[in-house]
Amino acid sequence: LWQACLLQLQDQISPVDFSTWLRPLQADEESDNLMVLYASNQFVQKWVVDNYLDLITKLAAQFSRNAEFVVKVQVGSKPVKEAPATIEPVAAASIAAVSTEEAQPAYRSNLNVKHIFDNFVEGKSNQLARAVAQKVANNPGEQSANPLFLYGGTGLGKTHLLHAVGNGILAGNPKARVIYIHAERFMQEYVKALKADKMENFKKFYRTLDALLIDDIQFFAGKDGTQEEFFHIFNSLFESSRQIILTSDRYPKEIEKIEDRLKSRFGWGLSIAIEPPELETRVAILLKKAEEKKMQLPEEIAFFIGQKLRTNVRELEGALNRVHANAEFTGKAITIDFVREALKDMLALQDKLVTVDNIQKVVAEYYRIKVADLKSKSRSRSVARPRQLAMALSKELTNRSYPEIGKAFGDRDHTTVIHACRTIATLKEQDNNIQEDWSNLIRTLSA
Ligand code: ADP
Ligand code: MG
């Protein structure tokens, strides 16, 4: 019960307060309707009672499903019966605890144990990122991949991979001091430390880590103080071969309002993109997630959903949850029609978002030509190739048929569209530039 409360509390109060006041409490949960929390001294006891007792009582009542549940806070330590069970593999305390007699600041990793490599479905779009992440998890701190910089659009698995690396490092070395932290949270902690005159603790804390995992580093934009502090932490960790992993929604050089010296450091190791998953991977992800939920998902349905929802994995998961809930609730079999109905709004939105018109505009802009050129008879290469790409994208991203697409491109025959799709499919395999253009365009169109 106390464990469950702690998990909730952890999300509701600042990490420093959490580890200073709540984490060290010992819980005696012998009774069914009473929990006694032991504080090390009167001061702690009073602080906890004044600030957190109401919240804890509320949570305890909730978790025990007993509105009368009582929580008491006493000074002392829990009566020993047997060997006390260790609460978590990762001991927690805090930045604030640095000032105690411990040599190294204690910490909590913030890692989500559910995000591991095992449940990260591999596909072309994330293969490289996954492979490198795995390597870093096995050999953290190696210079060739330090820092590891993972970037890509939202919902593509960056955070998942980040946790997977952290969990992987800990699996190999349970004593490793690994921290996952979102850039925004890092910023808040920095500001807090500054205000509380605890900068020394803050610095020491981050500089004594074995691995620092910062998510969504683009949030550092415009935060000069945070960037300055992070710059020194980065240098210190890097010099002692500690692993740094960062994620961002874009390539390091493209992040705005981040100091150049930081951006250049982001590129010192490996920068790897995660692309939107292609159809095959989308289907595999759906099947995997369904299996995890013990949900019966026919392959053709996974295929149908995967074909319709193309932007990101989070969206796929959302759709699957929706279908699952609807099926459980109505007791109906999951058919295509059932899915169409359950996902009506999502599918409509998708159709509205990506139209042939829109694709033509984006492609024209990308290649700095005119939409009219795409519809023209011109066969000049600077126009013909973009036109083929736009046709292939229209096939991939909309539900338009070959004849319909042909019509939208200056009344061309459907065989021309088929030919364009084949050509682009081949070129994507052979020509890195085309592959890159394709990915960029898909990313832009599905953002
Ligand atoms: P990002 O941080 O890039 O926005 P997340 O890592 O939060 O994306 O991923 C969104 C959701 O999709 C998470 O629930 C994650 O577990 C899941 N997910 C993303 N990629 C994969 C994958 N390749 N296999 C399985 N689940 C994935
Ligand atoms: Mg994320």
Q: So what's the pLDDT on residue 447?
A: 58
Ligand nearest to the CA of 126: 1
From 117, 215, 112, select the one nearest 158 (Cα to Cα). Answer: 215
Distance between CA 261 and CA 242 in Å, rounded?
Answer: 19
Whether 376 and 418 map to the same domain: the answer is: yes
**For residue 397, what pLDDT is reported?**
82
- Mean pLDDT, rounded, for 40-64: 85
**Domain region containing 159:** 127-273
Residue 282 near ligand 1, beta carbon < 6 Å: no
Selected residue with higher pLDDT from 394 and 41: 394
Based on the fold, state whether residues 301 and 378 are members of the same structural domain.
no
- The rounded Å distance from CA 288 to ligand 1 centre is 12
DSSP 8-state code for residue 148: E
* Nearest CA among 345, 367, 369, 372 for reference residue 357: 372
Ligand 1 atom closest to Cα of 115?
Answer: 16
Q: Is the peptide bond before 15 cis (omega within 30 degrees of 0)?
A: no
Q: What is the whole-number distance in angstroms between the Cα of residue 254 and the centre of ligand 2?
A: 18
Task: Give 272's strand partners.
Answer: 150
Question: 203 with 237: CB under 8 angstroms?
Answer: no
Atom of ligand 1 nearest to the CA of 163: 6
| Cβ of 154 below 6 Å from ligand 1 | yes
Q: What is the mean pLDDT of residues 346-355?
A: 79
In a domain, 121, yes or no: no
Q: Which ligand number lies closest to the CA of residue 283? A: 1
Compute, in angstroms, the gap from residue 306 CA to the centroid of ligand 1. 15
Residues 286 and 260 in one domain: no
Residue 196, domain member (yes or no): yes
Determine, yes or no, domain membership for 345: yes
Token pair of 441 as six digits: 């365009």
Annotated binding site: 155, 157-159
Ligand that comes closest to the CA of residue 215? 2
For residue 270, the cross-strand partners are 148
For 333-342, the pLDDT digits (tens) are 999 999 999 9
- 86 pLDDT band, cuts 50/70/90, is very low
Amino acid identity for residue 436 in this structure = E
Tell me which of 364 and 97 has the higher pLDDT.
364
pLDDT (average), residues 188-209: 95
Q: What is the CATH number of the domain that holds 168?
A: 3.40.50.300
Question: Is 422 part of any domain?
Answer: yes
Flag whether pLDDT at 129 surpasses 80: yes
* Ligand 1 near 126 CB (within 6 A): yes
| Residue percentage of the chain with pLDDT more than 70 | 93
Upper half-sphere CA count for residue 389 (Cβ side, 13 Å) = 28
Q: Are 33 and 170 in the same domain?
A: no
| Centre of ligand 1 from the C-alpha of residue 68, in Å | 40
| Binding site membership of 121 for ligand 1 (Cβ less than 6 Å) | yes
The answer to whether residues 159 and 215 touch, using CB atoms and an 8 Å cutoff, is yes
Q: Are residues 291 and 211 in the same domain?
A: no
Q: For residue range 217-275, what is the model confidence (pLDDT) as tens digits?
A: 999 999 999 999 999 999 999 999 999 999 999 999 889 999 999 999 999 999 999 99
| Domain end (from 87, 109, 143) | 87
| 210 falls within a domain | yes
pLDDT reading at 203 higher than 90: yes
Instruction: Give the per-residue pLDDT at 298.
Output: 94
Q: CB of 160 closer than 6 A to ligand 1?
A: yes
Residues 303 and 47: their CA atoms lie apart, in Å, by: 56
Q: Are residues 175 and 153 in the same domain?
A: yes
Query: Which ligand is nearest to the Cα of residue 250, counting in written order?
Result: 1
What does the mean pLDDT of the chain come to?
89
Given a contact cutoff of 8 angstroms between Cβ atoms, the answer to whether 256 and 284 are in contact is no
pLDDT digits (tens, 9 = 90+) for 47-56: 889 889 999 9
Q: Are 124 and 141 in contact (CB under 8 A)?
A: no
Q: Is residue 119 part of a domain?
A: no
CB 202, CB 189: distance < 8 Å: yes
State pLDDT tens for residues 365-413.
999 999 999 999 999 999 999 999 999 999 988 878 999 999 999 999 9
pLDDT at 347: 86
What is the rounded average pLDDT of the residues 35-47?
A: 83
Nearest Cα neighbor of 203 from 187, 213, 190, 219 is: 190
The CATH code of the domain that includes 22 is: 3.30.300.180
**Average pLDDT rounded to a whole number, residues 303-309:** 91
pLDDT at 183: 97
pLDDT, position 94: 41
Query: Residue 108 pLDDT more than 90?
Result: no
- Measured between alpha carbons, how far is residue 162 from residues 133, 158, 165 in Å? 8, 6, 5
Q: Is residue 324 part of a domain?
A: yes
115 domain residue, yes or no: no
Let me know whether 147 and 284 are in one domain: no
- Residue 315 CA to ligand 1 center (angstroms) comes to 10
| Nearest C-alpha neighbor of 92 from the set 3, 157, 160 | 3
Q: Are residues 184 and 195 in the same domain?
A: yes
Distances from the Cα of 334 to the Cαs of 195, 285, 321, 348, in angstroms? 56, 18, 13, 19
Q: Name the domain boundary from 273, 308, 341.
A: 273
In this structure, the answer to whether residues 406 and 374 fall within a common structural domain is yes
Cβ of residue 130 lying under 6 Å from some atom of ligand 1: no
Query: Quick one: pLDDT band at residue 87, thresholds 50, 70, 90?
Result: very low
Ligand 1 lined by 359 (C-beta under 6 Å): no
Both 311 and 195 in a single domain?
Answer: no
Q: Is the CB of 273 under 6 A from ligand 1?
A: no
The domain tally of the chain equals: 4
Band the pLDDT of 84: cuts 50, 70, 90.
Answer: very low
